[in-house]
Structure 1
Amino acid sequence: MAYRVIGEGAMLLHFAFLVYVTFGGFLAWRWPRTLWLHLPIAGYALGIAAIGWVCPLTHVEDWARLNAGQQGFGDTGFIDNYLGGIVYPEGQMIVFELMVSTSVAISWIGLILIHLRRRHRPPPTPHTADDHEPRA
């Protein structure tokens, strides 16, 4: 039972990781400080996609599922196992990677534009009590 819980937990963390990589940059539009969390996570995801780094959650989930008597990943990884043929066509991992990369790029470009707009906006003028009195 414990192995199954570990496997399910690793799967949920995997999905949370993918959602945050894909959409976390958009959170920085509202909360700019979250960019500092998104940068290393997106960088690690890029390393997984471009360099072939292995996500430790993949090993944890595979190990837990095998010890729970369930089917492991075999030659596939988390994304191919759960998203292949659902989010992108079977065997077309590049489609998924391009979708995620496009989302990250749009979110970061939007964040830069928001930052520039805020920077060039004139400061608000202070209001006085006289501003709220009716004019005669």
Structure 2
Amino acid sequence: MTFKILADIVVFVHFLWILFLIFGAFFGRKNRRIKIFHISGLAFAFVMQLLDWYCPLTHLEVWLREKHNPALTYSGSFIIHYLEKLIYIELSPYLILILTILLCGFNTWIYLRKKD
């Protein structure tokens, strides 16, 4: 049961990480540490797409689910089931790379805009 709970927590953290990568520039404009962390995360996401790597959080979640029950295909948690559908959306690697480039460009624009 512990591995299942930990896997669900990893999915939730993964979802929050994705939200941070999308919207982090709005917070990073006001805080240098958040900005550095956000830009580093975007750079890592970009490198993962270029090298066709899987996210370490994905590996961790799969490992935890296998430890809980190797035959389990559905976690049984309603919220986690739908968060996973958002996180692991079925898109081609090329489209994910294009979306990552657009996300990096959008965040660069946010960071370079003059502060109000």
Deviation, structure 1 residue 28 = 2.0
The alpha-carbon distance between structure 1 residues 21 and 85, as it changes in their structure 2 partners (threshold 3 A), is closer
Q: TM-score of the superposition, structure 1-length normalised?
A: 0.62
Tell me how far apart the structure 2 counterparts of residues 110 and 84 of structure 1 sit (CA, whole Å): 24
Tell me how far apart the structure 1 counterparts of residues 11 and 2 of structure 2 sit (CA, whole Å): 14
Match of 2:85 among 74, 82, 87: 82
Identity of aligned residues (%): 20
* Larger RCO, structure (CA 8 Å, separation 6 or more): 2
> What residue ranges of structure 1 are gaps of 5+ in the alignment?
73-80, 119-136
User: Which one has a bigger Cα radius of gyration?
Assistant: 1
8 Å CA contact 2:28–2:34 kept in 1: the answer is yes
Residue 19 (1) aligns with residue 19 (2): yes
Task: Give SS of 1:98's match.
Answer: helix
> What residue ranges of structure 2 are gaps of 5+ in the alignment?
75-83
Give the structure 2 partner of residue 71 of structure 1.
73
Aligned-pair Cα RMSD in Å: 2.8
Deviating 4+ runs (over 4 angstroms): none
1:53-68 alignment runs, 5 A limit: 53-68=53-68
Q: TM-score of the superposition, structure 2-length normalised?
A: 0.70
Aligned residues: 105
Tell me how far apart the structure 1 counterparts of residues 87 and 9 of structure 2 sit (CA, whole Å): 20
Give the structure 2 partner of residue 36 of structure 1.
36
8 Å CA contact 2:29–2:111 kept in 1: the answer is yes
